[in-house]
Amino acid sequence: MRRITGDAPGYVPVMTVPTTTATGSLWLADRPDVRYPPPTADRHFDVLVLGGGITGLTTALLLRRRGARVAVVEADRIGSAATGNNTAKVTALQGTVLSQVRRTRGAAVAAAYAEHSLRGVELVAALAEELGIDCALRRRAAATVAASEAELRAVEREAEAAREAGLPVAWTDEVDLPYPVAGAVRLADQVEMHPVAYAYGLAAAVHESTDGVGSRVFEGTRALSVQEGSPARVETNHGPLTGDRVVVATHYPVWDRGLYFARMETVRAYCVAGRVRNPSRDMVITAGSPTWSMRSAGRTMIVCGQDHPAGARGVDPGRYAALEAYLRRHWAVDEVTHRWSAQDVLPYDHTPMIGSYTPVSSRMHVAAGYSKWGLSGGTMAAALLADQIAGEPTTGVFGPHRVTLRGLPTLARLQAKVGVDIVGDRLRPGEVGAVTELARGCGAILRRGADRTGVYRDEDGGLHAVSARCTHLGCLVRFNAAERSWDCPCHGSRFDVDGAVLEGPAVEPLPRKDPPA
């Protein structure tokens, strides 16, 4: 198998402050030294794909293979967001998702979800083989485990739902873990890989121009607005692009049309990785709370968890400490090498949203809401979108504009939370009365009348001040001490201490301000 390498013409995109203050993602630590420049003279394509992660790159490649001329538009670098900050499991057995889907949307939808997820797993394996991508792809078993008797019924329900959905799962009480479990449901022949190496392999295949099709990958190119005309027009920080179709594959859909913000919740999770003497080989996730998600990469063991809603109050660095303690408790650790974080999007009814961006859109498409399983989910979505755009018949199960009656209580809870966040934060007094109260390495909201300023004091004593109003829909951001970022509790936008966008749906930075006296 060949490793994808090489250099596109010499553009180095401007990088934002990392999303975590620790060592960073295992997957991003050794990414290829490949750069794709922003657009120049070439401005019109058959399809504009917004987002250079698994969903966007796979969609672009599948459409390119159908003869379309495609441009992938990435705000940062390939694989720099959700793709580069996950546990890198590609599986149709996804914790307790199938039992949740069956409960909310019924057995038929759960079966469709399982079928398409399994197709996503096999498509990843097939593309890696066909393209010769050196991404350390291996077949592994995936298991959802009951770490205690209290979790056993949830795992039994998942096993029932998986069998009913047609997955060839097996029940076992033996999993490759250094501690006993009460029981587990196991699915063989799933996939683990290096997701960033895989993403760069897809990007190289999209960007190749030997066949004269002329598809392109543009890094450092942020989509700022879209006009759905004929053709559609996307404004970027490097000027406009036009396309007959637009695919929004930005993890969380940018822009307000479609009301996705009313139907999805954002959550953050944290990961640590360390070199151990006895790595476990199964891909494992526990069914209880807190949830622990684990896999190995050679001698490195990865543990992820410690979830919380994006923009939650009181987030502190202790979440990394809890993960490291779990790792050291169960494995003989030589060294903890990496710490990173991820953001995930959870639809109110547990199934992805794949299809037309609005009920009347004919030129805009969207894929989002993978409930923490974006490598299989994003690949599944790409295959469905490519078929839809090519005019082939596809399932309507994942249509974005569905109404799921059993999910309405969750939907109501999400909207009540947003309302409380919007109104409550405006009535709340500032977190500090004066900048002098702010310790080094800390951030807080300072209130002066109706004005809210987010102030961060760095380790050298310097002050960084930004508007505290999220540029998406105006909610007030909150300081995340675990990552030293400003996070929006309403829809999950995140910004660094100088206001640069780290996570969407926001596309504009927080305005910088003079540090208050």
Distance CA 455, CA 463 (A): 7
Written as tens digits, the pLDDT of the chain (517 aa) is 222 333 333 322 323 334 443 458 999 998 888 999 999 888 999 999 999 999 999 999 999 999 999 999 999 999 988 999 999 999 999 999 999 999 999 999 999 999 999 999 999 999 999 999 999 999 999 999 999 999 999 999 999 999 999 999 999 999 999 999 999 999 999 999 999 999 999 999 999 765 555 899 999 999 999 998 889 999 999 999 999 999 999 988 887 666 777 788 888 899 999 999 999 999 999 999 999 999 999 999 999 999 888 877 666 668 889 999 999 999 999 999 999 988 888 998 899 999 999 888 789 999 999 999 999 999 999 999 999 999 998 888 999 888 766 756 665 665 555 555 555 555 455 565 677 777 888 888 887 767 788 889 888 888 898 998 998 878 889 888 877 889 888 878 889 899 988 887 888 899 998 877 6
Q: Are 258 and 366 in contact (CB under 8 A)?
A: yes
- Predicted local confidence at residue 168, as pLDDT: 97
Report pTM: 0.87
Q: Which of 88, 185, 85 has its CA nearest to residue 143?
A: 185
Distance CA 43, CA 300 (A): 44
The tokens describing 157, both together, are 């329900």
Report all structural domains of the chain as residue ranges with CATH numbers, in order of start: 428-513 (2.102.10.10)
- Predicted local confidence at residue 396, as pLDDT: 86
- Predicted local confidence at residue 4, as pLDDT: 30
Q: Which amino acid is at 63?
A: L
Spacing of C-alpha 267 from chain mean position: 10
DSSP result, 82-99: GGGSS--EE-S--TTHHH
Q: What is the largest CA-CA distance in the chain?
A: 64
β-strand partners of 443: 456
- Predicted local confidence at residue 342, as pLDDT: 86
